[in-house]
A and B are shown apart, each in its own frame.
Chain A
């Protein structure tokens, strides 16, 4: 096995939720040693998972699938950062790290005595990424937000979707994942600068700003012209047909994108309606765009009678871009492409045995990553981190635990 691409890096995480933790998850997968600091009074919110199949068991902090998705492969320590000795320990850890990732509310790090100035004093070439809803300045700096709030406030929700809807939102807390991917790139850029100059720096990532950058191409028009964005739903201004078309069965749809007249003619042949090719109102892209409502009805009169997967196969065989609107179950059970590429990852879990997680899509062919484990408790790696990395004797560790700076490992219920 190749050593991971980031095997020379150590990362400290002061994070909860997804936008911060997902960055460390990627880095751990690439071989970095990632240490996450939590406390029992404020564990990562994603640990507050109650299994819906056994609600009587209450919160299962190690079993949450989201905790796996965003935190598998890391080391976990428990520190009460309101305790001065815990802050001192955190600083000693920072001195041994290359990167700190944090997503506390802006200003909290400073209040704890772990602000940029303090951290840069103990580690002169540190890279610190702070990620927050609105960024570290401006009138909304201290506003409480989660990913979906940012979809709403960024304008993404009102520019997306069908024209008659007041707003359209994802069910996947999109600003969290898009901010994490931007944050990972931002950290790697800062490390590149560090490798050339020896200089560290801090990075302020506003999830609002990252979200606007991501749908920027749709915002350019109102920026340039001061006029509202036309909500297109699934339609395109340069392709037709272009939509998710209803197929046989309940909530079954096939997405189809036809960008040119040749693809249109191929679609007509797959549909066994060669006579459509002859109709002038659909013969050219401009004509199809001008008659798009009628075109969509026509396409759906055909797709409705067919299985979505069979439609996708026959359209792709003819060279037309098409894809089933897949559920998670479809992706896991009946997607031969994801299976052939071993996309989903089976991870050893300390309580469950093994779990399956969504793959890390970095595509690093020379240094494929892996996730060594999942299912850690708060404070799982206290002994390793404070003993091996900071070289504290067991007596010192006991004293710091008795003083309340280090919190003992949270024992699993079973």
Chain B
């Protein structure tokens, strides 16, 4: 990779990652690549099927214009390789022998059947970390089941507690089960690398997308239920543990409020009283933790909306925050794109892409003072780095490259 000596250092400079991942694991590789690891995405000849996920830049289906693909594969290099062929597997072994991490999302035992499973890779390079991301994990009676982002949201418990009681369960916009499993996998992989650096021993990281979602939704999980016997279900916009909480109507939209501390309740009750003349809200019966207000939740919501509906969203947020109340705007996507906070921090970044002059993408999820997150290059085109990596780094001659191409191995 080209490096500029004036550039800030990268946290993962020198780390080498191989990725054989569809949309279940592409975000994992992105997290590594945007922090400076050299992530090489290995695709089957012709390109991965995830390149055909809509919507497309310019609306036309094209393997280099899928917007979700362009987002989830930034900063990576890309090669094509057919692991079904012996010559393809041999090249993979040569790449793995120089790698710190292999990320893969193939069905369990697929790599084993190719002679490239955990035992093979561990023998080849003992400190290597192999990270597998699959719907249900590598073991157990459902290891071979089919998954999808929606199925993982269902079995993982998210869908049951998203949206409104009178609607069907629903998932969020995006691919949250895949993205969460990828983030969990990235953290687990870094932990395994930390251990490997100290002991020399790599390990197999076995990520189950379902388990990740059970963990991500655990505020509605087993600990609470075993304690109180209440099975959480969909309940609109308010959080069950915090009273009041939810989206409240204002003159021109919605503002979200959440009260979590006794002092915040008092400040809210005083504000409602000041503006609406409501005396009852000041009752000491409502003071204390949220549980004190649980039974009167709906009544309190009416009283609070009596206040918020007199103001614009902006006024509610500004005046509420001045009183240290957690009021925020419920924003549309267009408002987010113009959001002054994000603008002040320069969040959205422009990435040059072949055939498209600059795609704006969401930026850094965290800001490291010394080793900043940075998109180093746009998502690779199909086989973009075949020559650079196979010839430049593995020393494969041009004749051999032609032969491999003719065989369809790359």
Contact = CB atoms under 8 A, between A and B. Distances in A.
Given A52-B230, A53-B228, A138-B345, A186 B366 contact: yes
A152 B223 contact: no
B173 A160 contact: yes
Interface in A130-157: 134-135, 137-140, 142-146, 148-157
Contacts of A176: 219
Nearest to A177: B216
Contacts of B163: 161-162, 165, 168-169
A159 interface: yes
B71 A217 contact: yes
A39 interface: no
Interface string A345-386: 000000000011111111111110000000000000000000
Given A138-B341, A232-B173, A323-B152, A152 B330 contact: yes
Contact of A204 (B145, B245, B366): B366
A328 B333 contact: no
A217 B365 CA distance: 14
A204 B367 contact: yes
Contacts of B212: 361
Contacts of A193: 9, 11-12, 368, 370-371
B180 A178 contact: yes
Contacts of B230: 52
B337 A244 contact: no
B357 to A, nearest CB: 11
A189 interface: yes
Task: Say what secondary structure dominates the interface of chain A.
Answer: mixed
Smallest CB-CB A-B distances: 3 pairs: A366-B203, A65-B223, A188-B190
Interface stretch (A80-88, A222-230, A394-402): A222-230
A268 interface: no
B86 interface: no
Contact of A244 (B159, B197, B326): B159
A214 B362 CA distance: 9
Given A52-B230, A178-B183, A209-B364, A189 B190 contact: yes
Q: Find the residue from A50, A174, A185 having the highest chain B CB count within 10 A.
A: A185
A324 B260 contact: no
Interface in A280-322: 316, 319-322
A285 B54 CA distance: 13
A343 B212 CA distance: 10
A351 B288 CA distance: 24
B332 A48 contact: no
A190 interface: yes
Interface string A244-284: 10100001011111010000000000000000000000000
A336 B142 contact: yes
Nearest to B52: A238
A335 B247 contact: no
Contacts of B57: 224
A274 B187 CA distance: 46
A165 B168 CA distance: 12
Interface stretch (B132-140, B297-305, B401-409): B132-140
Interface stretch (B76-84, B236-244, B382-390, B391-399): B236-244
A217 B72 contact: yes
B217 A172 contact: yes
A166 B247 contact: yes
A208 B342 contact: yes
Contacts of B251: none
Contacts of A171: 161-162, 219-220, 232, 234-235, 239-240
Contacts of B161: 170-172
Contacts of B180: 177-178, 181, 214
B260 A45 contact: yes
Interface in B40-87: 52-55, 57, 67-68, 70-72
A69 B157 contact: no
A409 interface: no
A336 to B, nearest CB: 5
Given A203-B368, A367-B195, A158 B331 contact: yes
A320 B145 CA distance: 8
A148 B291 contact: no
Given A214-B174, A332-B222, A365-B205, A316 B363 contact: no
Contacts of B261: 45, 48
A239 to B, nearest CB: 7
Contact of B219 (A5, A66, A183): A66
B191 A358 contact: no
B114 interface: no
Contact of A6 (B183, B194, B366): B194
Interface in B277-301: 289-291
Interface string B180-195: 1001111110111111
A188 B187 contact: yes
B173 A215 contact: yes
B154 A170 contact: no
Contacts of B210: 337-338
Given A331-B157, A362-B191, A189 B368 contact: yes
B231 A328 contact: yes
Nearest to A140: B341
Contacts of B310: none
Given A53-B228, A137-B345, A244-B170, A367 B192 contact: yes
Contacts of A45: 260-261
Given A165-B167, A341-B137, A359-B215, A203 B173 contact: no
A219 B151 CA distance: 22
A10 interface: no
13 contacts: A5-B192, A65-B224, A66-B241, A149-B258, A158-B330, A168-B170, A173-B219, A182-B366, A189-B11, A193-B371, A213-B363, A257-B148, A356-B226
Interface in B95-143: 136-137, 139-143
Contact of B362 (A181, A199, A219): A219
B198 A185 contact: no
B140 A244 contact: no
A14 interface: no
Interface string B21-55: 00000000001000100000000000000001111
B175 A217 contact: yes
A247 to B, nearest CB: 11
B361 interface: yes
A159 B203 contact: no
Given A148-B239, A152-B329, A228-B334, 18 more contacts: A48-B261, A51-B228, A143-B328, A152-B331, A153-B336, A161-B163, A168-B164, A171-B235, A177-B218, A190-B11, A204-B366, A206-B345, A208-B342, A215-B173, A221-B55, A233-B170, A243-B168, A331-B155
Q: Find the residue from B67, B204, B258, B336 having the highest chain A CB count within 10 A.
A: B336
Interface string A60-75: 0001011011000000
Contacts of A148: 237, 239, 242, 245, 256, 258
B94 interface: no
Contact of A326 (B55, B150, B160, B364): B160
